[in-house]
Structure 1
Amino acid sequence: MTKLDVTVSDPMIYFPPTAPQIDGILSLQTFEDQIVTLDLIGNNIIIETDKSFKRRIADMKPLRSRLSRELGGYGVDIFLAIRSPKGKVWMLLDTGNTNKLLLAPHAQKQLGIDLDKSKDKTAKPVSLELLGYGTIEALGREREMIYDGMMNYDTILKMLLTIDLKSGNVWARENPLSGK
């Protein structure tokens, strides 16, 4: 049996009153050292066995990824690499980001793009090459932050993602239900 720390809070305080009801939040560290598949359209988190994992990734593409330990090693984050003319830009995989795809000013410079720097929070279409997967297109906007960028729910929704939370390896394919 695995010991889990649990916190009870209302996630709806972070969203506008018109947002659909969210009943709870699960973080990646809940699945420490396991392999999980995220199917956001199907509203599924699948814990893979060795056998199901091999079947699952047979038609998926391996992505350039890295695992990061936050909060003194207690938290787990996954970053995915985006190609830029000046090296990789690392995007936080963040299903909790219901905003636009976010890029820090330094990452925009590295990518050679210019999102609106005004306080209007204007979103513009961006096209990025997710290493191992191909081109992703999303509405993006600038945000000053410590990360290069943050993927958002709407972008992640279009993919099936299998994540090995021991190694940090990630595989992806288009979600057949995305209608992309």
Structure 2
Amino acid sequence: MVVGTVFRGGSYMDGLLSTKVKVDGDDATEKILNMVKKSKHLSQLQCIMLDGIAVAGFNVIDIKKLNKLTGLPVIVITRKKPNMKKIIRALKKANEKNKKSENEVKKKLAMIKKAGNVHEVELKNKKIYFQCSGISEEKAREIIRLSSSHALVPEPIRIAHLIASGIVLGESRGRA
């Protein structure tokens, strides 16, 4: 399940969106695209923030395509700097488990690399990392700072994580 929250800055939640995606699948980009484009909140949206480049295991999101087809900047947030060697190992393991071809691994790795450079931003004396599409590094950094009002990660991501884990697990847990 993917949950999206619509926020004004980092303090006021205006709406909630959700969609279902396949675990380790390849439908996340299309599902998120449809969720956003069909939303009554579309005209209010200033950007799309994602908690990582993949959802539901390794269902990788093509942020360049999402940016192009929505016309909205996309910012991907991670607490830890991505380690490509670990990502490749985990992706191969997931594909073996799901009996998918080596081409699937290559396709997903290409999307991850296509997302661009990983940048860092310091918040509350700690670093988080981001990739972005359709927005400058500095503007993305500014949005991250403005929307990180209560925690290290932006409030829209933090609240979406709480809601999604509460629905999927029966109780919210952990950090986004």
Q: TM-score range by the shorter chain?
A: under 0.3
Structure of greater Rg: 1
TM-score (norm 1): 0.23
Which structure has the highest helix share of the two? Answer: 2
TM-score (norm 2): 0.24
